[in-house]
Structures are given as structure tokens and as C-alpha cells.
Structure 1
């Protein structure tokens, strides 16, 4: 693999997005392009993105729609329609990437698989230091990091902990990668899932129903999630019921997804 599009979802947190983008432009291997899926952020996010566009390090597209609530599935479908490569790496805008994140994702890419990565975390207590210093160079032993095992990058041992299964559980869009054609075949994200909760797992369930394996990667593809308060879980139970229906019916395509927006 030589090319990928990096999708970054964001909503009204330019301080975090700034660190995320800084960690992207410091990658040892750059993505072909960045597509920012913006679920209705204010003007300050647009100004920040324009600053990075003007650096001309790599192409950056800002895909935005008005703020009408948590419509992450819709904005992700719109953003992915703007990609120009066959392979998608997807993260959130509150993530700091290890310098080899893109290099690792390109290495582990495999046909008939989607990637489920893991994440370590930057603690709430460390946030004042993080945003003051604007540091994006973290490792296993850095201050402010928890879940340190997930911060280990040992490529030579990664194969020992890499597993492939027909299983869609615990998939997170903050560290996920897939082939664009597989995404199109299952009609992308389900636009009917509005509000927080398991939209990535629902997509993964349809990918598994299609016959695509979940490839769980450890000791590569390292990232650091910046602490923030939890979003409302109001719709979580409803989304979980949708996933059960998708599993039990072996559904591959959602009725209202990528194709309905392109």
C-alpha cells in the first residue's frame, strides 16, 4: 500500500483539532490527502483548517454542514465521497497520532479486511500542560498517558497479537481503516443513526456480513485520545437494537446511507 485518504471527524474543538493536524503533518509517511468531516463547527474551526491548508504540506478538504445535532454518520458519508484513493484511514479530531501511524496502517492493510486499531489516552489532569505546550510527540513512557500498553509500538512483535475474525464488536472510528469499495458495497454509514452511539460498530457489522474480516492490530498504529467529557448516551440503546437487527438479519446494505447522499 502506498496511498490512503485520512478522514478526520470533528465538532467544535479546534484546540484538539490543531494538535491532531500537527501530528498528521509530522508523520514519517504522509497520507495522500486529509478530508475533514465537520459536523457543524463554528467559524474558528474553519479558520484553523485554512491555516493548515495554506501550509501546502498535503491536500486538505473541509467538508462541513450546518449544526443540526449529532449527524456524524451523514458528514462522514459526505466526506468519504470526496476521497480520491482506494483506501481510507479514519480517526477523530481529538486524537494525537504516533509519528508512524499512517506508515503502520499502510503496512497492515489487507484485502478482504478492515482494521480495528486501539488507543491510549491522555488524562484530564494533563490537559492544561498539553494545550499550553502543544506537544504532539508522545510515547509509552510520556507523562499524562494512561492505558500505556496501547501506546507500545513494537512492529517486530505486532504479528503475534494481530487477529482476524468475523466479529464486529468494539470497533471505534477513531482508529479504523477499510477499503473504499467495501464501504460503498455496504452503503457506508447508516444516516438514520443520529446522536452518539456505535455507528462504527453498525458499519462494521454490515462489513462482516459481507464477508470482510475484522483485523485487530496491536503494537502498531498507535494513537493518543485527548480526554473530554462523555457525550449524551440518550440514543445508545436504540442504536444497539439496530445492530442486533443487522446481525440477526445478516443485513449487508443499509437503506439510507452513502448512496443517498452522493
Structure 2
């Protein structure tokens, strides 16, 4: 059916879930359904989401019997989505732009008018636990045309993943996500990057709106609070896996992009030593 389903996995986010859901309900382009998959929360989450569901008939609640992690929860939501388009947002994040969905659906329509399958995404901003924007490089507006098609997207994702600048919370056809096998359970760390790599591999177009869309909350006790070395290790594992699909010249470019900061620093050190 024509329309979009919002899928929200939740686990013990009683402090943030209502803010997340309300930001969806305030969108200028309203979703047909909001699917909340509560992954066996042990806090007050269930009481809060059941109250929200009573107040809005578009909210659909799913309770897995066992805790399976974010990828399994998203896939469960995807399987129960009734509409042609889907998007995912974590329960501790929120839409910071009321036109986020409208902008992305407009971009998807433009892609599909040309006969392309694709996804449309907006820029994210990092916020702290209280929802205040964190001044940092990753919050800067991205260049236009950063993401393109197929192997070019794959190469760009590899080069940008080190800076954690890959698309998040994008709108896409449900059938396109299912075509590549959805989220790679039991991966629950950089599962978005893994999915994007597979979408790029089948030639999906990545269409930016050039607008800010989602506030991505940085929590000290969450995955975003992990050590930088843990992030780098996981990114390397995923990128190395999919880099094999690139032509030699594209692999060389991707590797250079990954290490160019270190290379520049090394060159500066060598020049100083010679001088």
C-alpha cells in the first residue's frame, strides 16, 4: 500500500521514547503507521508506549518474546510493515526537522520518476543526552552529490565511514531492503553501514535532501559511547568485506581516503625531520 511505515526499535529508553514518537507525530508528512518494537525492556518503556498507542491509532506495538538486539527488532518491524516505504529511527533519537519525511519522500519520487530504485536521506546532527546540539565537525553540512550509484557509492561509503558520516534514518522502499536481506542479524554495531554496503552493491541510488533531518543522541552507556578503537575495528571489518567488490583502482582510492589523514601527518613529520 502507498505510504510510509516508521519503525522504532526500543530497549530501556523510557527517558527518550516519548520525545522520539512525538517528533514523528509532528511531521508535516504523516506516516501511515508507527511500529514500535519493544525488545523486552525492563524499565517503564512499555507503560509509556502503551499510553502513546492509546492516544494515536497509527502506533502499532510489537513485543518479541526474547531480547534479540536492534537488528532483529528492526527486521521484525520490517516484516510487519504494511506500507510500500519504510524508515527506521532509534528510540533515543528524534526528528529535528518537521519536514524531514516530506523532503525525503519528494527526493524518492524524483528518483522513481527516472526509473531508479534508491534511498533518500537527510543530514544528522549529534546531540547530547539532554538533546542539545554538540558542536563538532560531523555536524557540518555535507557536500552535494556525496553519494551516487553502485560501486561509486560503495567507494564513497568506505572513504567516509571512518568519519562516521554515512546516511542514517533514510526512506526507502520496503521491497528494496528485503531484496538485500534486511539487517544482518546478529550484527548490532554498525549494522546500518553493513546494510548500506549491500544496497550500494546492487546499484541503489543514494539521494541526499541537503537538509538536516534527525538528531542522533550520543549516550555514554550506548554504542555511541564505545571506545574509538572499537568503532575503527568494526568499520574496518565491514569495509574490508565489501571492498572486495570494487575494481582495483577503486580499492586503491578507497584505501587512500581511509588513511589520508595519517599519511598527511606522516609527510609533515618527514618534512620537519629533513628540515
Change (3 A) 1:116 1:217: same
Corresponding residue of 1:113: 118
Relative distance call for 1:117 and 1:44 in structure 2 (3 A) is same
Which structure is higher in RCO with an 8 Å CA cutoff and minimum separation 6? Answer: 1
1:93 match: 91
TM-score by length of 1: 0.72
CA distance in 1, matches of 2:140, 2:106: 17
Name 1:79's counterpart in structure 2.
77
Aligned to 1:165: 148
Q: Unaligned 5+ residue runs, structure 2? A: 247-275
Distance 1:236 1:48, change over 3 A: farther
Distance 1:150 1:63, change over 3 A: farther
User: Within 2, Cα distance between the matches of 1:30 and 1:150?
Assistant: 28
Matched residue, 1:219: 211
Q: Give the C-alpha shift of residue 240 in structure 1.
A: 3.6
What is the alpha-carbon distance in structure 2 between the residues aligned to residue 213 and residue 40 of structure 1?
Answer: 35
Secondary structure of the residue that 1:5 maps to in structure 2? Answer: strand
Q: Which residue in 2 is equivalent to 1:123?
A: 128
Contact kept, 8 Å, 2:14 with 2:43, in 1: the verdict is no
Give yes or no for the alignment of 1:187 onto 2:181.
yes
Alpha carbons 1:205, 1:247 under 8 Å: kept: no
Instruction: Report how many residues are paired.
Output: 223
Aligned to 2:34, the other structure's residue is in SS state strand
| Higher share of residues assigned helix | 2
Deviation at 1:201, TM superposition (A): 0.9
Cα gap change, 1:4 to 1:148, in 2 (>3 Å):
farther
Task: Using the TM superposition, give the Cα deviation of residue 83 of structure 1 relative to its aligned residue in structure 2, in angstroms.
Answer: 0.3
- Counterparts of 2:240 and 2:2, CA distance in 1: 36
Match of 1:137 in 2: none
Pair member with larger Rg = 2
Q: Alpha-carbon deviations, 1:159-186, whole Å to 9, x = none?
A: x935541324246574222211111111
- The structural deviation recorded for 1:218 is 1.6
The CA deviation string for residues 79-99 of structure 1, in whole angstroms up to 9 with x for no partner, is 100001111112111222122
What TM-score results when the alignment is normalised by the length of structure 2? 0.69
Alignment partners' CA distance in 1, 2:231 and 2:136: 31
Name the residue aligned to 1:146. 134
**Aligned mates of 1:39, 1:147 — CA distance in 2:** 32
Q: Which secondary structure state, in structure 2, belongs to the residue aligned with residue 31 of structure 1?
A: coil
Aligned to 2:262: none
> How far is the alpha carbon of 1:149 from its aligned partner?
9.8
Q: Which residue of 2 aligns with 1:246?
A: 242
Write the distance in 2 (CA, Å) between the matches of 1:116 and 1:92. Answer: 15
State the match for 1:21 in structure 2.
21
